[in-house]
Structure 1
Amino acid sequence: MRENKAQMLNLKLIFLFLLLFCLKYSNCSSPNNMQNSLRFHKKVDNLLPEISPIGQPQPLYPLLAPSPLSPFTITNNTAPKLSGFCTLDFDAIDTMMSTTAIDCFTVFAPYLANVVCCPQFEATLIVLIGQSSKKSNHLALNSTLAKHCISDFDQILMGQGANNSLQHICSIDASNLTEGSCPVIDVDGFEKMVNTSKLLANCGKIDLVNECCQETCQNTISEAAKEIASVSYELDAMGLRRPSDISAKVINDCKSIVLRWLASKLEPSGAKEVLRGLANCNLNKVCPLVLPNVGPVARGCKDVISNQTSCCSSMESYVSHLQKQSFLTNLQALNCAASLGKKLQKENITNNVYNLCHITLQDFSLQANGMQESGCLLPSLPSDATFDTSSGVSFLCDLNDHIPAPWPSLSHLAPSSCNKSVRIPALPAAASGQRGLYSHHDVMFLLVFVMTIVLVTIY
C-alpha cells in the first residue's frame, strides 16, 4: 500500500513538472483554457511599507492542478457525534463554521495555522459564544459545559473536513470558552459598566489598514476590559477603582469577554471581519518561525569574501529547514529576514549574505518539493481559503516573484507596516504573456500545491 502511494506521488510530481515546463517554454494551453483552470484575484496590499522599485522581476507561471481532484476535495462530510449537553447555538454561525472547516482543512491546517486557520478557529469560538449569549445572557460557559461544547465544536468541524487536532494546533481548549479570571460574565452587568456606544462606534467596523497602527479599536477594548476587571477590586480613598492594580491576566481574560459581547451585537460576518483584522495586527508583528542555531552559517560565512560557495551552501542548508515550517505573510517574512539577519550580525557576519546568496522573501515560507518558484507568501491581510467542487481547496498567495530579502540595517528594527519610510524591494510585476490571467501581486495556488508539500514530507 505504501509503495502504491509513493508511485502515485511520483506520477503527480512528474505531471506537475511536465506541466510547468510546458507552460513556461511552449504554448501548450490556450488562454481561454488556462483562464478556466485558474482563479486569480487582484488586491493591493496596503499594509506593506513603502516600496522601492528595482528592475523587472521574472514572471512566475503558476501550477495547474491535475483533474480530477476527487481525493482532495471535501466530499465525504460525516455526521458529527455530539454530546447532547452543549447549549450553544451552532446554527447561528453555520456559514462561519463551514469557512473554518475549509481554512483548517485536514492536511494543510498545520501549515496555515498561525496565519489563517487558528485566527479563524478562535474568531469562530468568540462569535459562537457571543451569538449564543442573546438567549443565555451569559458571555462565558462553566468548565463542565465548556468541555462538552469544545468537543461538539471539534466534531462539527471534523465532519466538514477540518483537521482532527485543531485544539493542539491552535493551543485552544475548553478553558477558552470560560470566563477565566474575569469577574463579569452576564450581559446586563457588562452593559451597566462599559461605554457600549463607544465600543460599537470604534469596533463595530474597523479600518483594516490603519487599525494596527492607530489602535483605535484595540485601545477601546482595553479600556472596557479594565472597567469590568475592576469589579473585584476595592475602592480607594477617593471612591475610585485603580485599574493599574489589576493583573495583566485578569485584563486579558476580560478582553475575551469584551470581544464576545461585541460579537453578540454584530452580524457573524461583520464580527468575523473585526476579529480577523485584530488578529492580523498581532500576527504581522513577529516572525513565527523557529530559527535554529546560526552557528553553522556563521562558520561557513566567516570568510565570505574568499569562499562564497561555502557561505551560500550554509545559508541554503539553513533556510531549507525554515521552508518546512509554515506559510507566512509577506510582513512575517520581512520580520523573519530581519530576525535572522540580526542573529548573523551578532555572529560578526556583516556582509549582506542575503544578496550574495540570492535569498528571497519566499525562502522563509513553505516551499513545494524544494521548487522555489512554487513558494507562497500570503498577503498581510490573509483571506480565507476557498472550496469548489471543480478545483478543490485553494488560497491566496502574494509576492510570487523572487523578491530579495532585505539585509537589516544596524540603525533600525524589522520593517513595519506603520513605518512608511522603510523601503523594501519592489513588488512583482505581472508575467508577460499572461495578462488577465493573474494580477500584479496575487496568485491563487490550488490544493495540489499543498498536497505535494505534505506528501513529499511524508515520503
Structure 2
Amino acid sequence: MRGRGGPPLALNLLQGLFLVFLLNEPDFREAMGHRLHQDFISLGEEKNLLLPYIPPTTAPQPFLPQLAPSPSGDTFPKLSGLCPLNISSAGSMMKTTAVDCWAFFAPFLANVICCPQLQATLVILIGQSSKYNGRLAMSMTHANHCLSDVQQILASQGANDDLQQICSIHPSNLTEASCPVNDVHAFESSVDTSRLLAACKKVDPVNECCTQICQNAIIEAATKISLKDGSLPSMNGAHILPVHSSIMDDCKSVVLRWLASKLDPDQAKQALRQISNCNVNKACPLVFPNTKSVAKYCGNVIENRTACCNSMENYVSHLQKQSFITNLQALDCAALLGMQLQKANISDNVYRLCHVTLKDFSLQESGCLLPSLPSDATLDQSSGVSFTCDLNDNIAAPWPSASQTSASSCNKSIKFPEIPAATSTEKRWWEDIIQFYDHGPGGRSAVSSADEAKTIDASMIDRAP
C-alpha cells in the first residue's frame, strides 16, 4: 500500500513535556508554532500522540523500533502499606512489566505484550505468596490494596497509569471469585498435582498452542476443583452455561497461581506467557469498519482500479491506527477482512490488485508485526524503550478461498504465504516517536503540510487484553 509522511522530529521526552506547557501559552504558541515540524501521523486528538512515518525500503529488514526516550527516573509511589504480597521481591519482574506497559504505548502493545505480562505478574505474585500463607486467592480488601500498589509501583517506573482500564483487570480477578477452592491444601487434595506439574513445568513454545498439553491439564484441574462442593454440575455432553463458564475461568486462575507457586518466577513467567499467547494468536484483535466504501469501487466488476485501490488504502489506514499485532494475528485479520469483502460482493483478489501486505494490518503504514512467540519490550538507558519487530518483509496478504473458514496455524489444510528466512539482524530505530503537539484553531493539529495529518479516533483503539 502507498504511504505518506516525512522524517521524525528528534525530541526527547523532557523537552516534549516542557513543550506541552509552553504550547498552552497563547503568545508562545503564536510566536513559535511555525517552527515545529509539520509532517506527523497523529495518534489521538485528545492525547496528542504523534508517530512519524517510516518509508518502506526496497529490502526491508527486521528491526527494533524505539518507542520513546527512557523515563527520566523513578518516582516514589504512594503505597497503601496494606498489601500482603511481597512485591519488593519481584523487582526484576516489575521492571519488565513497567517497560512492556510503557506510558503512552501501553494501549498499542496491550493485546500482545503489556496485558499478558501484567496478568502473569499478578498470578506469580499471588502464587509465590501462597508458599507462605497457603492461600491461592486474596480477599477483596487485600486485592484492592494490592492492585492499587502494583499500579502505583509500575507507574513510578514509567508504565501507563491506567493499566487496570487498558487491561480490564479488576480486584475481583485477584480473588477466588466463584471458584470453590482458594487454598493450597484443598487444591492439592482435589487435583493430580504431579500430572499437572509434568504437563506445564516446561511448555513447548512452538507446539503448545496446537497440542494443548499444558492447557488441557489446566482445564482438567480446573474442572476437578470446580466440582468440589457441587459448585459446578457434571458437564457430560451438556452445554456449558455462562455461569458454568465463569466458574471454570475463575478456577483456571486458581490453577495458574498454584503452578506459579511450584515454579521459579522466570519459569512461571515463560509458561504463563506461552499459554496466554495461544489465546492472543487465536483471533484478530482489530475492529473492522464498514466495508461499504470499498464495495462501492471494488464490488462486482472493477471498472476503475485506481479508485478501488484508493478506497482500499483508505480503509486499511484505519486498521493501521489501532494496535501492534503478531504475524499470526495478521494472517487471521487478512482472512477475516477478506471474507467480509467477499460478502460485500468483492470477488476479485483486491489484496493482490492493490498490493496489500500482512504488515499493512499493524500499527503504522510502514508496518511492524510482532513475533508470534512471547516477547518483551526492552529498555536501554541511552536509546530508550524498544521491541522486536518480526516479519518486516513485504509478504502478500493471502486472499481467502471460498471454502476457507479459519486461518488457524494448526489447520494443516490452510496454505500460508511463504515466510522468508530472516535476512539480517540489522537494527533500525524510530527516533523519539512520542511527540507532543498542541491543537490549532478549531481543535485540529496545526499542520500546514501538503499531506494532511491522519488522526486516530480514540474509540478505534483496541485495548482488549
User: Under TM normalisation by the shorter chain, which class is it?
Assistant: 0.7 to 0.9
Q: Are 1:298 and 2:298 counterparts?
A: no
Residue 59 of structure 1 corresponds to 59
Residue 344 of structure 2 corresponds to 347
Partner amino acid, structure 1, of 2:431? V
Distance (Å, rounded) in 1 between the aligned partners of 2:99 and 2:400: 37
Q: 5 Å matches for 1:214-293?
A: 214-233=211-230, 242=234, 244=236, 247-293=244-290
Q: Per the alignment, in what secondary structure is the counterpart of residue 387 of structure 1?
A: strand
Among 127, 131, 140, the residue aligned to 1:130: 127
Residue 448 of structure 1 corresponds to 431
Q: Are 1:424 and 2:416 counterparts?
A: yes
Task: Provide the TM-score with structure 2 as the length reference.
Answer: 0.79
**Displacement of 1:167:** 0.6
Unpaired stretches in structure 1, ≥5 consecutive residues:
25-57, 236-240, 432-437
Q: Are 1:180 and 2:169 counterparts?
A: no
Q: Per the alignment, in what secondary structure is the counterpart of residue 248 of structure 2?
A: helix
CA change 1:417–1:234 in 2 (3 A) is closer
Q: Tell whether the 8 Å contact from 2:64 to 2:389 is kept in structure 1 after alignment.
A: no
Residue 389 of structure 1 corresponds to 381
Residue 322 of structure 2 corresponds to 325
Residue 39 of structure 1 corresponds to none
Distance (Å, rounded) in 1 between the aligned partners of 2:328 and 2:147: 32
Q: Per the alignment, in what secondary structure is the counterpart of residue 115 of structure 2?
A: helix
Q: Are 1:87 and 2:48 counterparts?
A: no
Q: Per the alignment, in what secondary structure is the counterpart of residue 146 of structure 1?
A: helix
Q: 5 Å matches for 1:102-141?
A: 102-141=99-138
Q: Deviations over 1:297-344 (max 9, x none)?
A: 111212543211111111111011000000010110110110001001
**Displacement of 1:249:** 1.0
Distance (Å, rounded) in 2 between the aligned partners of 1:6 and 1:81: 41
CA change 1:10–1:389 in 2 (3 A) is farther
Q: Are 1:375 and 2:367 counterparts?
A: yes
Q: Per the alignment, in what secondary structure is the counterpart of residue 448 of structure 1?
A: coil
**Displacement of 1:419:** 2.5
CA change 1:445–1:139 in 2 (3 A) is farther
Partner amino acid, structure 2, of 1:348? N
Residue 190 of structure 1 corresponds to 187
CA change 1:154–1:447 in 2 (3 A) is farther
Distance (Å, rounded) in 2 between the aligned partners of 1:97 and 1:198: 30
Residue 166 of structure 2 corresponds to 169
Q: Deviations over 1:374-416 (max 9, x none)?
A: 3100011131000111221110111112111000011222322
Task: Provide the TM-score with structure 1 as the length reference.
Answer: 0.80
Q: Are 1:72 and 2:69 counterparts?
A: yes
Q: Are 1:357 and 2:354 counterparts?
A: yes
Q: Tell whether the 8 Å contact from 1:222 to 1:255 is kept in structure 2 after alignment.
A: yes
**Displacement of 1:91:** 2.4
**Displacement of 1:12:** 9.3
Distance (Å, rounded) in 1 between the aligned partners of 2:186 and 2:97: 31
Partner amino acid, structure 2, of 1:76? G
CA change 1:64–1:415 in 2 (3 A) is closer
CA change 1:155–1:138 in 2 (3 A) is same
Distance (Å, rounded) in 2 between the aligned partners of 1:6 and 1:182: 60
Residue 147 of structure 1 corresponds to 144
CA change 1:192–1:453 in 2 (3 A) is farther
Distance (Å, rounded) in 2 between the aligned partners of 1:254 and 1:5: 56
Q: Per the alignment, in what secondary structure is the counterpart of residue 416 of structure 1?
A: coil
Partner amino acid, structure 2, of 1:451? I
Distance (Å, rounded) in 2 between the aligned partners of 1:270 and 1:186: 22
Q: Tell whether the 8 Å contact from 1:396 to 1:444 is kept in structure 2 after alignment.
A: no
Distance (Å, rounded) in 2 between the aligned partners of 1:5 and 1:206: 54
Q: Tell whether the 8 Å contact from 1:211 to 1:217 is kept in structure 2 after alignment.
A: yes
Q: Tell whether the 8 Å contact from 1:300 to 1:311 is kept in structure 2 after alignment.
A: yes
Q: Percent identity, aligned pairs only?
A: 55
CA change 1:454–1:128 in 2 (3 A) is farther
CA change 1:146–1:403 in 2 (3 A) is same
CA change 1:225–1:427 in 2 (3 A) is same
CA change 1:314–1:12 in 2 (3 A) is closer
Partner amino acid, structure 2, of 1:59? A
Q: Which moved more, 1:378-387 or 1:4-13?
A: 4-13
Q: Tell whether the 8 Å contact from 1:386 to 1:394 is kept in structure 2 after alignment.
A: yes
**Displacement of 1:107:** 1.6
Q: Deviations over 1:181-206 (max 9, x none)?
A: 00111111111111110011000111
CA change 1:18–1:359 in 2 (3 A) is closer
Distance (Å, rounded) in 2 between the aligned partners of 1:243 and 1:111: 39
Q: Deviations over 1:248-268 (max 9, x none)?
A: 111110000000000011011
Distance (Å, rounded) in 2 between the aligned partners of 1:447 and 1:121: 25
Distance (Å, rounded) in 2 between the aligned partners of 1:424 and 1:6: 49
Q: Per the alignment, in what secondary structure is the counterpart of residue 121 of structure 2?
A: helix
Distance (Å, rounded) in 1 between the aligned partners of 2:52 and 2:285: 31
Partner amino acid, structure 1, of 2:404? H
Partner amino acid, structure 2, of 1:364? F
**Displacement of 1:426:** 2.7
Q: Per the alignment, in what secondary structure is the counterpart of residue 396 of structure 1?
A: coil
Residue 16 of structure 2 corresponds to none
Q: May I ask how many residue pairs the two structures share in their alignment? A: 400
CA change 1:137–1:108 in 2 (3 A) is same
**Higher helix fraction: Structure 1 or Structure 2?**
1
Distance (Å, rounded) in 2 between the aligned partners of 1:64 and 1:169: 24
Distance (Å, rounded) in 1 between the aligned partners of 2:277 and 2:111: 10
**Displacement of 1:444:** 5.2
Q: Report the RMSD for the aligned CA atoms in angstroms.
A: 3.0
Q: Tell whether the 8 Å contact from 1:392 to 1:446 is kept in structure 2 after alignment.
A: no
Q: Tell whether the 8 Å contact from 1:408 to 1:414 is kept in structure 2 after alignment.
A: no
Q: Per the alignment, in what secondary structure is the counterpart of residue 382 of structure 2?
A: coil
Q: Tell whether the 8 Å contact from 2:63 to 2:389 is kept in structure 1 after alignment.
A: no
Distance (Å, rounded) in 2 between the aligned partners of 1:212 and 1:219: 11
